[in-house]
A = this chain, B = another copy of it.
Amino acid sequence: MNNFRTFDPSNLLCPVPAVMVSCASETARPNIITIAWAGTVCSDPPMVSVSVRKNRHSHAIIRESGEFVVNLVDEKNCKALDFCGMRSGKDVDKWQACGLTPMPALNLDHAPAIAECPAYLACKVRQVLELGSHDMFIGEIVGVQVREDLFEGKDLHLESAGLVAYNHGVYQRTAEVLGFFGYSVARPEVLERRMKQYKK
């Protein structure tokens, strides 16, 4: 039996997504905020949540525009991801500082996507919940684009992007594929055929 140590009640859900959220409004130039307090919250309609402290520069921008873009982050963009969590858009143009390029996001009026990221989810704010230190913005996903080279024919292989997760203070690359949804009950021939494609 495992031995356990009691730890302070704290945010130990791991791994969580490590993403760059981009935003802009009629009155604010585009900004980027790093978010690990994000999650998928509904399949239909497709919705994500991102939690942001009230005093963050991006909080007011998202409040004003009702829009944000969740940009997925791969290893190549990990340093920019960290930097955008360390500096405020009040002081720094993070696009310029990190060499990132804003590009129009599908179905949004203001918030741009980050052209260097492997994929983005364009979101419209449907609800805002005040939870304490953070406000949770619940966004409906209204547009998605993914880097062309992550497809094989019609199949999207996001697992090959080397996406970054946040794990209690560190950024970790997602690597080895352990199985696919349903693999524990798959027939042996299906298991073999499908797992083969992930052994690269």
Q: Are A184 and B82 neighbours in the complex by a CB distance under 8 Å?
A: yes
User: Which residues does chain B contribute within 8 Å of A7, judged by CB atoms?
Assistant: 144-146, 156
Bound CA–CA A149/B167 (angstroms): 17
Q: Are A148 and B86 neighbours in the complex by a CB distance under 8 Å?
A: no
Q: If A4-B145, A144-B7, A146-B5 touch, does A170 touch B175 (CB 8 Å cutoff)?
A: no
User: Which residues does chain B contribute within 8 Å of A86, judged by CB atoms?
Assistant: 182, 184-185
- A94 vs chain B, min Cβ distance (A): 11
Of all chain B residues, which has the CB nearest A120?
B4
How many chain A residues touch the partner (CB < 8 A)? 95
Q: Chain B CB within 10 Å — which of A4, A38, A184, A185 has the most?
A: A4
- A117 vs chain B, min Cβ distance (A): 8
The listed residue (B45, B70, B83, B165) touching A184 by CB distance below 8 A is B83
A60 at the interface (CB under 8 A from B): no
Q: Are A131 and B138 neighbours in the complex by a CB distance under 8 Å?
A: yes
Q: Are A170 and B176 neighbours in the complex by a CB distance under 8 Å?
A: no
Bound CA–CA A151/B83 (angstroms): 28
Q: Which 7 A-B pairs have the closest CB atoms?
A: A39-B39, A175-B175, A42-B131, A82-B184, A4-B145, A44-B133, A3-B148
Spell out A's residues near B (CB within 8 Å).
1-17, 19, 36-49, 51, 70, 72, 75, 78-80, 82-83, 85-87, 101, 106, 115-116, 118-119, 121, 127, 129, 131-134, 136, 138, 141-149, 151, 156, 158-159, 163-165, 167-185, 198
